Amino acid sequence: MRRFVSVLLATVAGLVVLLSFKTTPAKAPRPVALSGTTPSASSTAPDSSTPVGSAATSSAPDSSVPASSPQPSSASPTSAAVTASSGPSSAKTSPTATKSAAKPTPKPTAKPTPKPTPKPSSTTKTVTGSVVTVSEGRRVFGVVQVRLTLTNGKITAATAIQFPQNDGHSLDLSNYSIPKLSREVLSAQSASIDAVSSATYTSEAYAQSVQAALDAAKA
């Protein structure tokens, strides 16, 4: 019995050692304004050439609720597809942030082909970002694709029309992080947002998709 206890203790010690090797010091929420070298960026969605990925820009008079295409299918956590609309947001479109972020543009195929339809009074435009794979090393959790609604050039809604749900845990993390990311985009009015803790990869991919959508809107 004593030997068994020592085996258990050795196992716990081994676990701690193993995990320590894989631990990076906890930082304050990392800004994920596209660095271009993030792991997710390196693996830009393989399916970004699919119809869904080739960002469609539609112009509708009042399309704050998009997403007729890939809709989250899970039963309870559908709340992940969050459409957050901005109140009187303080920040304006910050071209600097956009520009710095725009450098490592997603692959050409993922580049949205915008068809802006200007209207004199109030223009509401919906742009869809690229499909970005959320992965950690070789492990793929799913993809993120964000659709932005721009009213008079201001982001008024950010909806994740695809988000990681390859396994239950990813889905939980999406439920938790996507609404936050959406709110962050609305307040930042750009893709330079902070990563949500525990969901770094999703955050990075989210920012990248938002950036692609913004690029599409401007072009």
Partner 1 sequence: MTSVLPDRGIRRSSSPSAPGFGMAPNALLLALSTGGALVLLLWWHDTPATLHTFGDWLTNAGRITGLLAGYVIIVLLLLMARVPSLERGLGADRLARWHAMGGRYAISLAVAHTLLIIWGYAVSAHESVIPQTGALLTQYPDVMMATVALGLLILVAGVSMRVARAHMRYETWYYLHFYTYLAVALSFSHEFSTGLDFSASQSARVLWSLLYISIAALLFWYRFVVPIRAAARHRMVVAGVFPEAPGIFSVHVTGHHLDDLRAEPGQFFRWRFLSSGSWWQSHPYSLSAPPTDRLLRITVKVLGDHSHALRTLHKGTRVFAEGPYGALTERRRTRRQVLLLAGGIGVTPLRALFETLSARPGDLTLIYRASSELDVVFRRELDAIAQWRGARVVYLVGPPGGDADPFIGRRLASIVPDLVAHDIYLCGPPRMMDAAHSALHRVGVRRRQIHTESFEF
Contacts with partner 1 by CB under 8 A lie at 3-4, 7-8, 11, 15, 18-19, 21-27, 39, 74-76, 136-140, 166-169, 171-173, 175-176, 197-198, 200
Spatial distance between the Cα atoms of 161 and 69, rounded to a whole number of angstroms: 8
Among 135, 157, 147, which Cα is nearest to 204's?
Answer: 135
**Tokens in use for 216?**
């599409």
In this structure, are residues 177 and 80 in contact, taking their beta carbons and an 8 Å threshold? no
Identity of the amino acid at 33: A
Smallest distance, partner 1 to C-beta of residue 71, A: 18
170 within 8 A of 143, measured Cβ to Cβ: no
144 vs 171 by CB, closer to partner 1:
171
Beta carbon nearer to partner 1, 38 or 149: 38
Q: What's the one-letter identity of residue 144?
A: V
- In whole angstroms, the minimum distance from the beta carbon of 178 to partner 1 comes to 12
Tell me whether residue 117 or residue 198 sits nearer to partner 1 (CB atom).
Answer: 198
Min. distance of Cβ 124 from partner 1 in angstroms? 33
Instruction: Output the smallest distance, CB 4 to partner 1, in A.
Output: 6
